[in-house]
Amino acid sequence: MILSKTTRLLIVLIAVFITCAVTAELISSKLFQVDLGSLGTYVSIVGIFPWPVVFLTTDIINEFYGRKILRLVSVITSAMIALCFVIVYTAMQPAAFVVPGVADDAQFNAVFGQSLWIIIGSITAFFIGQLVDSFVFWFVKKRTGEKMIWLRSTGSTVISQLIDSFVVLYIGFVVPGIFTMSQFWSTGFTNYTLKLMIAVALTPLIYLFHWIVEKYLGDERAHLLEARAEKESNS
């Protein structure tokens, strides 16, 4: 079976999207310090590193395939994150056969043994964030048309990640008593500030990725795909 360019592009976007989202959740138990100069030093999670790619793929899927496809991809990704944690939990159960250079149970579990609340918080925040992102994206596009790509792409990311940043920390760290409310607000502020800076910095790449997609699909096919995505998303 020969796949069309449209289908091949969607498969690649979904693969990149899921890979980055799952990886972000796997590494989110590690904290690091961020020096914001005069604003002080704050704690953040390394799980924010793959999110720039998720932001970009979210915008491309939204733009060319529409809200319904993005919603489906978000549901599948949430399920894959849950499946990943089930597999990791299963891998933690057998006793490790310890040889030099190979992780023992304590080391392996320390890396992969995230608490149930962090897992629940990650999945919940991701799914809510994606729904909000798609809603804001199409809310803005409906009012601006084909103009101001930066506004619908960056604007939807800015709003959705405000929710995502605090939901994941509250469920994953406050509910089980890992963070105090002071730590919650401080870490949430840092995470969101970093994501906001990343979203703004990615604005030129949004235009670059649109150009690449249009060149790959051809202008006529790309515009037809955008028109169909808009029609289905607003129906």
Record: fold of 51-90+109-234: Arp2/3 complex 21 kDa subunit ARPC3 (1.10.1760)
- Model confidence at 115, in pLDDT bands (50, 70, 90)? low
Burial of residue 209, with CB atoms counted within 10 A of its CB: 0-12 exposed, 13-18 middle, 19 or more buried: middle
**What's the average model confidence in pLDDT over 69-90?**
90
Is-contact 56 206, C-beta < 8 A? yes
- Model confidence at 49, in pLDDT bands (50, 70, 90)? confident
| Backbone dihedral angles phi then psi of residue 42, each to the nearest 5 degrees | -130, 165
What pLDDT is recorded for position 36?
A: 67
Domain extent listing, the chain = 51-90+109-234
- Gyration radius (Cα) of the chain, Å: 19
HSE (CB half, 13 Å, CA atoms) of 27? 15
pLDDT at 39 over 70: no
Amino acid at the residue 101: G
pTM value is 0.83
pLDDT at 9 over 90: yes
Residue with structure tokens 């693969």? Answer: 15
- Model confidence at 19, in pLDDT bands (50, 70, 90)? very high
Q: How far apart are CA 188 and CA 168, in angstroms?
A: 9
The full length of the chain comes to 235
Amino acid at the residue 23: T
pLDDT at 160 over 80: yes
Q: How far apart are CA 230 and CA 67, in angstroms?
A: 8
Name the percent of the chain lying above pLDDT 70: 97
Which ranges in the chain belong to alpha helices (H)?
5-26, 51-65, 67-92, 105-112, 116-144, 149-169, 181-201, 203-217, 219-234
- 3-class secondary structure, 40: coil
In order of 20, 22, 103, the CA distances from 14 in angstroms are 10, 12, 32
31-35/41-45 β-pairing: antiparallel
